[in-house]
Amino acid sequence: MADHIELGKEGEIIAVDYLQKKGFQILARNFRFKRAEVDIIVFKNDLLRIVEVKTRQSHYLAGPEITVTKKKQRAIVKVANAYIEDNTFIGETQFDIISIVLNKNGLSIEHLEDAFYPVL
């Protein structure tokens, strides 16, 4: 498997651990709808959060969160809507990004809460 795929999987494991330590209930991981996927879906304080995890080995040029383009955001929203319909969830939903930089110098995690608003 390619190194960037392994790095992404490791980042998701780190993000799940981070969220659990912060008291979030993990509802789903790698939830798919058609060809799109949401990394993590969590719940806390009556708020459903759809979490995109971006992991890189450096902040060279920009942080990992910059790769969540409008096109990617639209795909995430579609998957989130499918999850909400499948689980008949009624309540507020928020879209977060967890940005992870993991390299020989250590680990950096940034949780960008309410990182973007749904756009279709």
pLDDT tens digits, 97-106: 999 887 888 7
pLDDT band at 93 (very low <50, low <70, confident <90, very high): very high
pLDDT of residue 21: 97
Higher pLDDT among residues 82 and 120, named by residue = 82
Give yes or no for a contact between 93 and 38, defined as CB atoms under 8 angstroms apart: no
Where residue 6 falls among pLDDT bands split at 50, 70, 90? confident
- The pLDDT of residue 108: 86
Q: Residue 50's CB: how many other CB atoms inside 10 A? A: 25
Of 27 and 70, which is predicted with more confidence? 27
pLDDT digits (tens, 9 = 90+) for 52-92: 998 887 665 566 567 788 899 999 999 999 999 999 888 89
Q: pLDDT confidence of 15, banded at 50, 70, 90?
A: very high
Please tell me the distance from the alpha carbon of residue 48 to that of residue 71, in angstroms, as a whole number.
22
Query: Can you list the domains of the chain with their CATH numbers?
Result: 3-116 (3.40.1350.10)
Asked whether the predicted pLDDT for residue 120 surpasses 70, the reply is no
Please return the burial class of 18, using the count of CB atoms within 10 Å of its CB with bins 0-12, 13-18 and 19+: middle
- Confidence class of residue 13 from pLDDT cuts 50, 70 and 90? very high
Instruction: Return the amino acid letter for 7.
Output: L
